[in-house]
Copies of this chain bind each other. A is one copy, B any other.
Amino acid sequence: MRADAKKNYDQVLAVAAEVVAEQGADASLRDIARRAEVGLGTLYRHFPTREALLEVLLRTTMDELTRKATDIEATCAPDEALLTWSRLAVAFTHTFRGVVDLMATAMDDENSALHASCTKVRADGARLLLRAQDAGLARKDIDGADLLSLIAALGWLNDQPSFAPRAAHLFDVIADALLIAKPHSP
């Protein structure tokens, strides 16, 4: 990449991070280009779709989430691992407003820049869920897609001012539904 191109790319990304943090995933691309002091065409050259731009903004955090899945699996009991990771996954959806809708759309679109990352998150969750199920600690009538749906639904609640205050408590309620109480040791 040419030096001037690289500079524009970085500038757009930096400004986009700010604007998206303020206004969410549907922030005006025109506004981002303007604040980045870059032609609108330049933004489109580097990021052919809105999702391509947001994908870069999310990549670091998503990679971290995957890394943490491995860590947690290695260090926690199956039930605790499932819950801890699920909590992190919900927290990830609060990177900025609209992440959850973005994920839902990406899951349904093979061509989305975010499709692979979202599938990875689902796979990580499925693995932790299966581990808890095998240990007899999680109910067996749900799968990775169900888990991701629940995480997304809880993430959506957090995006709504009127429902957000309930999200943390409802996470616990739903967690209760997923886990099977461990019988007390004698």
Interface of A is mostly: helix
Instruction: Please state if B162 and A107 are interface contacts (CB–CB under 8 Å).
Output: yes
Number of copies: 2
B-facing mask of A91-103, CB < 8 A → 1, else 0? 0000000000100
Given A152-B157, A154-B153, A163-B104, verify A146-B174 contact (CB < 8 Å).
no
Q: How many residues of A contact B (CB 8 A)?
A: 31
Q: Confirm or deny: A28 has a beta carbon within 8 angstroms of a beta carbon on chain B.
A: no
Q: Confirm or deny: A173 has a beta carbon within 8 angstroms of a beta carbon on chain B.
A: yes
Q: Confirm or deny: A181 has a beta carbon within 8 angstroms of a beta carbon on chain B.
A: no
Bound Cα distance from A130 to B173, whole angstroms: 17
- Residues facing B in A144-159 (CB within 8 A) are 145-146, 148-150, 152-154, 156-157
Instruction: Please state if A149 and B173 are interface contacts (CB–CB under 8 Å).
Output: no
Residues of B within 8 A of A149 (CB): 157, 163, 166-167, 170
A175 to chain B: closest residue by CB: B177
Other A-B pairs, 12, CB within 8 Å; known A146-B173, A150-B170: A105-B160, A105-B162, A108-B160, A141-B173, A142-B169, A146-B170, A148-B163, A153-B153, A153-B157, A173-B177, A173-B178, A174-B177
